Amino acid sequence: MVTRFVCFLALFVVVFTASACSSVPATAIDVDQAKQSRPNIIFIFTDDHASQSISAYGSKINQTPHIDRIASEGAIFLNSFCGNSICGPSRATILTGLHSHANGFMTNTNRFDSSQQTFPKLLQKAGYATAMIGKYHLHDTPKGFDHWMILPGQGEYYNPDLITPEGRVRVQGHCTNVVTDLGLGWLEGGRDKDKPFMLMLQHKAPHRTWMPAPEELGLYRDQDIPEPDTLFDDYKGRGKAAANTEMEIDRHMFFAYDLYCPLDKSEALYKHYERKIGRLNEKQRAEWDKHFEPENEAFRKNMKSMSPKQIEQWKYQRYVKNYLRCIAGVDRNIGRVLKYLDDNPGLKENTIVIYSSDQGFYLGEHGWYDKRWMYEESLAMPLVARWPGVIKPGTRVEELVQNIDYAPTFLDLAGAKPETPMHGRSLLDLARKNAGAWRDGVYYHYYEYPRPHRVPPHEGVRTGRYSLMHFYHEDHGYWELYDLEKDPQQTNSVYNDPAYAGAVEKLKVQLEALKQQYKVGVDE
């Protein structure tokens, strides 16, 4: 079913034999002994990058040549999912290897308990140099990093402020370029070159509200992006929550706030537009206005003669083009990182490059933007990885993997082990003949309600064929079941279809088993 990581095995026999013969824990493994086999790790992470906007995953609306290069020269994970589709909780899960209820960060209003076990702390103990640059979004000071520079909260696209141990600084430029500049600077001159390293390069893009870099402002000007089949979804065939959410492009996307096309100064959230645009310096503002003002003027002139459907279609085009421009900026900067490694072949040969995002995102599917739901577009996370000479180029992994697996994988790469159990498993187990059976379902649980976006709390299990969801809040008490083979767009729940009674029974048993495994209940 899957091309395995067979090339991993010989390498890890060396690492784990050395660990087994030592009386010290794996986290204290001698760096000099293992550094030739323990790889450097560059973990590039974005915010809200939908898999359907990556050409390696089959995008029909854009190209991402540098992300594709990682996949073609290494591995692509075709069934990669989050456990809670929202920014902070996903990041907390990745740091801890634990689902949200266990790491304590269930919603974006929580504060991360940085005293708990995280993989960067364990990598430090194992002798790695560690760095975090970019978006952190956990309302706490990063721990376990020799070097860190983080965006405050969501951060800004243009001329971003960064929090450092020495205080706050403002850096001129576009955030995606700035984060990459700082990361490359640390690789070149800021790290201890006698140690293996872990660099977490975490971009703000393509998070709302979308402001592309000057280099990408001209993209897609003379073309329309194809509309998704469900842009004008009527939400029939599902529970009532889908029709009552507040993330519709039509009703909940604002001209000034989201689309940078203010209709007048009395418009809702106009102050946001002024503040964002006000961050641009004179040269940046001139470039921005050159690309957007002619389109804005034409739309304002024609708006009164446009139908509601035409206005929604205009909103979709402006939104998705700016989103894809932000993606193009991310991809371009990934190319810069890959070129740095190409220019330093001795570094490249023992450096694994991983690209992922904290969850998926809606690009007009079901008429939506944002994430949160257990539906496929927000549940799926991109995940590609390259390790020259170790991961066979063109590897395609079909097993169900999840963001709880990242921390144990990073530790495994370093020849280290968690000091307390994690929910996830090392992805290297997919290559080990004696690792036992892999999981046949992933657990999902979303908590944040009612604001923002009014997506009700729900949990569920996603298998290779089915997605079972339980919306358990008193405002929305019901179940949904989707047969992903017959209904990949998830427009018709078959939970009450007698033909699926057997599947429902088995999936509920599987869901309860996962909850027991992770020690979670809906009231936690």
* 486: β partners: none
Instruction: Give residues with Cβ within 8 angstroms of 13, minimum separation 6.
Output: none
Give the pLDDT of residue 34. Answer: 32
d(CA 394, CA 272): 44
In a domain, 1, yes or no: no
On whether both 315 and 331 belong to a single domain, the answer is no
Residue 234 has pLDDT above 70, yes or no: yes
The predicted-structure confidence for 375-427, as pLDDT tens digits, reads as follows 999 999 999 999 999 999 999 999 999 999 999 999 999 999 999 999 999 99
Domain that holds residue 115: 8-210+324-438
Of 461 and 2, the one with more pLDDT: 461
Q: What is the CATH number of the domain that holds 49?
A: 3.40.720.10
Cα→Cα distances 88→48, 141, 228, 359, 363, Å? 11, 14, 28, 10, 21
In a domain, 363, yes or no: yes
Q: Are 400 and 81 in contact (CB under 8 A)?
A: yes
Strands 466-471, 458-462: pairing is antiparallel
The predicted-structure confidence for 296-345, as pLDDT tens digits, reads as follows 999 999 999 999 999 999 999 999 999 999 999 999 999 999 999 999 99
Cα→Cα distances 230→290, 486, 490, Å? 33, 16, 10
In a domain, 266, yes or no: yes
Q: Are 446 and 459 in contact (CB under 8 A)?
A: yes
Q: Looking at residue 275, what DSSP letter applies?
A: H
**Confidence class of residue 521 from pLDDT cuts 50, 70 and 90?**
low
The predicted-structure confidence for 8-60, as pLDDT tens digits, reads as follows 433 333 333 333 333 222 222 222 333 346 999 999 999 999 999 999 999 99
Strands 466-471, 478-483: pairing is antiparallel
On whether both 91 and 197 belong to a single domain, the answer is yes
Give the pLDDT of residue 23. Answer: 28
Task: Tally the domains of the chain.
Answer: 3
Which of 266, 286, 319 is at the close of a domain?
319
Cα→Cα distances 147→177, 182, 187, 200, 202, Å? 19, 11, 11, 10, 14
Is the peptide bond preceding residue 209 cis, with omega within 30 degrees of 0? yes
Give the pLDDT of residue 433. Answer: 79
On whether both 152 and 266 belong to a single domain, the answer is no
The H helix count followed by the E strand count for the chain is 16, 16
On whether both 424 and 466 belong to a single domain, the answer is no
In a domain, 61, yes or no: yes
On whether both 265 and 153 belong to a single domain, the answer is no
Q: If we measure between CA atoms, which residue out of 381, 314, 334 comes closest to residue 50?
A: 381
Which of 380, 404, 438 is at the close of a domain?
438
The predicted-structure confidence for 122-167, as pLDDT tens digits, reads as follows 999 999 999 999 999 999 999 999 999 999 999 999 999 999 999 9
Q: Which two tokens stand for residue 228?
A: 């998704």
Q: Which two tokens stand for residue 109?
A: 């209003």
In a domain, 2, yes or no: no
Which of 319, 342, 368 is at the close of a domain?
319
In a domain, 523, yes or no: no
On whether both 263 and 165 belong to a single domain, the answer is no
User: H/E element holding 49?
Assistant: none
On whether both 407 and 281 belong to a single domain, the answer is no
Give the pLDDT of residue 431. Answer: 86
On whether both 25 and 152 belong to a single domain, the answer is yes
Query: In angstroms, how far apart are the furthest CA atoms of the chain?
Result: 78
In a domain, 255, yes or no: yes
In a domain, 3, yes or no: no
Give the pLDDT of residue 267. Answer: 87
Q: Are 116 and 92 in contact (CB under 8 A)?
A: no
Residue 4 has pLDDT above 70, yes or no: no
* Residue bearing tokens 């907390």: 92
On whether both 288 and 374 belong to a single domain, the answer is no
Give the pLDDT of residue 238. Answer: 96
d(CA 145, CA 120): 7
Q: What is the CATH number of the domain that holds 464?
A: 3.30.1120.10
> Model-level pTM greater than 0.85?
yes
Q: Are 228 and 365 in contact (CB under 8 A)?
A: yes
On whether both 223 and 146 belong to a single domain, the answer is no
On whether both 200 and 252 belong to a single domain, the answer is no
On whether both 15 and 114 belong to a single domain, the answer is yes
pLDDT above 70 covers a percentage of the chain that reads: 92
